[in-house]
Amino acid sequence: MTSTSDEQPPSGISTVVSPERSTIVLVGEIDAALREQASASMAAALTSGLPIVVDASRASFIDSSGIAFVLQLHLAAAESGLRLTLLDPARVVRDVLDMVGVPGIEDEVAAVLVEDEAPAPLSA
């Protein structure tokens, strides 16, 4: 199969844990097909006990199951006393959260981006 510039990059959800934070990276189309990746990423972020950043800057689409993941993560972080910050320059996720009325998620657009952290590789 020949690759063209119109092909979508691989989609995925992964977690990068650093000494300061757990970053959950959303890439491409975030939908029900990524349920296992979402569960593993949520568990890794919550068990780290660190502030959580959801980096949605590379997400191109998010459906209801992706929003449910962000909402569950938000609730679980709040119950654990962990700060959750949304990094979403394209506002793909934030716009939907605003529409459904989710309070309490900080929107830290570019201020949270940490250049010394590379996004975790996505499994094939």
Number of structural domains found in the chain: 1
- What is the number of alpha carbons within 13 Å of residue 76 lying toward its C-beta? 18
Question: Residue 57: what are its φ and ψ, rounded to 5°?
Answer: -65, -20
Position 20 in a domain: yes
Name the residue with tokens 């459904």. Answer: 100
Position 36 in a domain: yes
For residue 79, what are the domain limits? Answer: 12-107
Position 4 in a domain: no
Alpha-carbon distance of 82 to 51, in angstroms, equals 5
State how far Cα 16 lies from the chain centre. 11
Position 30 in a domain: yes
For residues 41 and 24, the answer to whether their CB atoms sit within 8 Å is yes
> What digits encode the pLDDT tens for the residues 65-75?
998 999 899 89
> What digits encode the pLDDT tens for the residues 2-55?
444 456 668 999 999 999 999 999 999 999 999 999 999 999 999 999 999 999
